[in-house]
Amino acid sequence: MATRPTWQGHLRLSLVSCPVALYTATSRSGEVHFNMLEKSSHQRIRMIPTDSEGEPVDRADIVKGYEIEKGRYVVVTDEEIRNVKLATTRTLDIERFVDEDEIDRLYWNDPYFLTPDGEMAVEAFAVIREAMRKARKVALGRLVMHQRERLMALEPRDRGILAYTLRNQTEVRDPKEVFGQIPDVKPSPQMIEIAARIIEQQEGDFDPTLFKDRYEDALRTLIREKEKGHTVTAPEQPQEAEVIDLMEALKRSLGQGGGGRRKPAAQAAAHKPAVKKPARKRA
């Protein structure tokens, strides 16, 4: 496998276990990344750590500290942190099975691929995977990754297992903190019916190939044109129509076939920056 595993250990269901490897299921390789350069020389900038007074600090002199009160820290070493070992450090122990609908979407986090680690692990891995498939439930277990214990949700996917990290309760805000500020408005049934018909007109299958990162595409266009010596200006932003009569806006949207939805090509064109080529020098 080309990529390196994020985590390696054992997957265990009761007394059955096998070596496994965890790989990230997403990639950021397609994103545009910029380097910090000195303006005139275009030399890469080095970030030098400094103390609160602006004096440079050697990286060998940097330690980890936890602030227990203003200006007072408890310093811990890397070895001391490594000595804080948990039973889940090298084992993903399946603790229970739950229905997928029981897990609030707020808790789902990053996806990973879980695979058997070595030929000797394939059979035991397949037994656990197929038992999970038969149960038709999501398996929950824990592991320590990036120095943090994470709750994992596991489900069979093809010949492997799809694993998601789940946020813990302290990481998830109560929706009432934000949604509680929204006034309790009861729209008219007629308006809801028209909006539902607009939704029906826009129904379709999920096709991720139709959803492009238009901002990343625009950045790549900018880089290509700048490389050619062209200048790029911002495109004109469409003016949003002010909604005065909600019922009238709903009816017009329904008549336009679902809100006047633009085709992907039209959307891309609307976000494409305008390119200005340098003027030719006259002889």
The pLDDT of residue 257: 63
The pLDDT of residue 262: 46
The pLDDT of residue 225: 80
The pLDDT of residue 260: 43
Cα first-last separation, the chain = 59
Encoded tokens for 42: 């275009």
The pLDDT of residue 129: 94
CA distance 141 to 155: 11
CA distance 6 to 100: 25
pLDDT per residue as tens digits for the range 226-265: 778 887 777 777 776 666 788 888 888 888 764 444 444 4
Q: What is the mean pLDDT of residues 271-275?
A: 60
pLDDT per residue as tens digits for the range 126-178: 999 999 999 999 999 999 888 788 999 999 999 999 999 999 999 999 999 99
pLDDT per residue as tens digits for the range 1-50: 558 899 999 999 988 999 999 999 988 777 788 888 888 888 888 888 89
Q: What is the mean pLDDT of residues 47-59?
A: 87
Closest CA to 14 of 132, 99, 112: 132
pLDDT per residue as tens digits for the range 112-135: 999 999 999 999 999 999 999 999
The pLDDT of residue 277: 59
Backbone angles phi, psi at 247, to 5 degrees: -60, -45
Closest CA to 219 of 13, 3, 31: 31
Does 274 or 53 have the greater pLDDT score?
53
The pLDDT of residue 78: 84
Does 268 or 231 have the greater pLDDT score?
231
Closest CA to 87 of 166, 149, 140: 149
Domains of the chain, start order: 7-27+84-169 (2.40.290.10), 189-201+211-237+244-276 (no CATH)
Backbone angles phi, psi at 97, to 5 degrees: -120, 135
